[in-house]
Amino acid sequence: MKRSVPDLMNSESPLVMVTAYDFPGGKVAEAAGVDLILVGDSLGNVVLGYDSTAPVTLADMIHHARAVRRGAPDTFLVVDLPFGTYHTGVTDAMRSAVRVIQETGADAIKMEGATPEVVEVVRVLTRNGIPVMGHVGLMPQTATAQGGLRVQGKDDESARRTLDGALALAEAGAFSVVLEAIPARLAKLITEKLPVPTIGIGAGVNCGGQVLVTHDLLGVYEGEEKKIAKRYAEVGRISREAITQYASEVRARAFPTRENSFVMKDDVLDKLY
Ligand code: KIV
């Protein structure tokens, strides 16, 4: 059964979130019984082949989120607002969020950052009935300004900024906050201080829940192991082996076999000669 915002906020057990980007991804996540599915703008990296999330557009997010929703009609669905779609003012942010909710059937949107401008956007959206998930720590959309894809919150200034940002987002109405790539002890402190659940990725075990990018979890890309993710399968290797075997069987005329072929009566064939 689909979780509601209050139900997620009061969850006794750690929340489980995974990313999905298409119909099969939504279907398998729902079948696995996760609490939330995130159509992350990591779409740009793991599906569209960009080297950052910055080129991902609102149209991309809507297109993919609609497919995920078709695969997962009964799971709480969160969709990332991509870079540039909530930075040009509250009205534009509201317009982007309304499009996502109306056109995809999402239950909530997520946005990165906790600048005063983003906090104001969160306040206006939530006042207008749009559930918002915040995101602090490492923020891939603005990673260049953060000095690259690196752990945040390690020094006084960065730890304070991360804590204050998470608090400000919760105060503005965010129903949960993603903590990405911050030290586990800082994540624990933020989790204890926040009135809403935190969802960690690379933030230790003491968060209110965990999120992983499904392609990392499934090992879709061979060889690439990230510290913040655990690989639960080797889908990339298995897929490559399957396609390699198919290719060699085609070349050896070992596929298709009789079982994969259709038959017809001899007399029908005879008339064609
Ligand atoms: O885009 C994404 O997949 C995310 C998760 C890493 C939280 O924001």
Q: How far is the CA of 42 from the centre of ligand 1 (A)?
A: 6
Query: How confident is the model at residue 76, as a pLDDT?
Result: 98
Do the Cβ atoms of 151 and 139 come closer than 8 Å? no
Take atom 6 of ligand 1 and give the residue whose Cα is closest. 213
Task: For residue 170, count other CB atoms closer than 10 A to its CB.
Answer: 22
- CA 196/CA 249 separation, integer angstroms: 55
Q: Which of 69, 77, 16 is nearest to 212 (CA)?
A: 16
211 lines ligand 1 (CB under 6 A): yes
**173-192 per-position pLDDT tens digit:** 999 999 999 999 999 999 99
The percent of the chain in helix, strand and coil, each rounded to the nearest 5, is 45, 15, 40
Taking 50 as the pLDDT cut, the residues of the chain under it are none
Q: How far is the CA of 46 from the centre of ligand 1 (A)?
A: 11
Q: Which of 91, 77, 66 is nearest to 34 (CA)?
A: 77
Take atom 8 of ligand 1 and give the residue whose Cα is closest. 40
- CA 171/CA 254 separation, integer angstroms: 64
Q: How far is CA 40 from CA 14, 141, 162, 213, 244, in A?
A: 20, 11, 21, 8, 31
Query: How confident is the model at residue 225, as a pLDDT?
Result: 84
Helix axes 156-172, 184-193, angle to 10 degrees: 30
Query: How confident is the model at residue 145, as a pLDDT?
Result: 75
Take atom 3 of ligand 1 and give the residue whose Cα is closest. 40
- CA 128/CA 139 separation, integer angstroms: 25
Query: How confident is the model at residue 211, as a pLDDT?
Result: 98
Query: How confident is the model at residue 8, as a pLDDT?
Result: 97
- CA 81/CA 77 separation, integer angstroms: 13
> Is 180 labeled as catalytic in the residue annotation?
yes
